[in-house]
Copies of this chain bind each other. A is one copy, B any other.
Amino acid sequence: MKKIILLTGFEPFNKETINPSWEAVRTLQGWHEGDFVVHSRQLPCVFGQASKMLHQAVEELQPSIVIAVGQAGGRVDLSVERIAINIDDAPIADNQKRQIVDQPIVTNGPAAYFATLPIKAIVHALREAGLPSSVSQTAGTYVCNHVFYSLMHQAHEWGTTMRAGFIHIPYLPQQAAAHPGSASMKLEDMVEGLRIAIRTTMAHDVDMREAGGVTH
């Protein structure tokens, strides 16, 4: 039986009518290669609901790898998140019009979890393929980080071998046109980037060691 890769993307938020994360993720529904096959799911941009739907998908599919994907308008590349932190602190309301401020995602949960994807190897492989990429030291404190932390907590609680992480992607060019000065990336490059992230994760049980940090 094929190993299952779960990809998630988000519905549009913050006045956008499209979310590149879902556009990229939906394109890979059913994609298979070697011994894996991709399942794609859309998550709402809503605190609580998003993590609940993700948990259900994980329970149902029992994936070997989960990569949650989210839009990071203004970022310039495929940024592979290093760490999820145990706080919701929303600068804007979510799609249910709730703005949560300074609440832990999991009461008494650890302050943070590191991603268990081979993040350095993924960044390395993306650059090799001519796709701009970097390690990110923060996934923010909004619904993306909320989903990322919930996912890592679930993996930790289960004690499974499931590996998981989060990738932030830039605006699509059509979105950037409405946000002058913002970088963007073509959908096909995002999709190709996710393919590379999956293949690299399959190929690396242990991450590469390669500088990917920042001074501040």
Contacts and interface: CB of A to CB of B under 8 A. Distances in A.
Interface of A: 14, 70-73, 75-77, 82-83, 85, 87-92, 99, 101-102, 110-114, 120, 127, 130-135, 137-142, 144, 168, 172-174, 176-177, 180-184, 186-187, 189, 207, 209-216
Complex copy number for this chain: 4
Contacts of A14: 215
16 contacts: A14-B215, A73-B215, A76-B182, A85-B112, A89-B213, A91-B213, A99-B211, A110-B111, A111-B111, A111-B113, A127-B174, A130-B186, A132-B173, A132-B176, A132-B183, A138-B216
Could you say which of A134, A176, A189, A210 has the most chain B C-beta atoms within 10 Å of its C-beta?
A: A176
Given A173-B130, A183-B183, A141 B77 contact: no
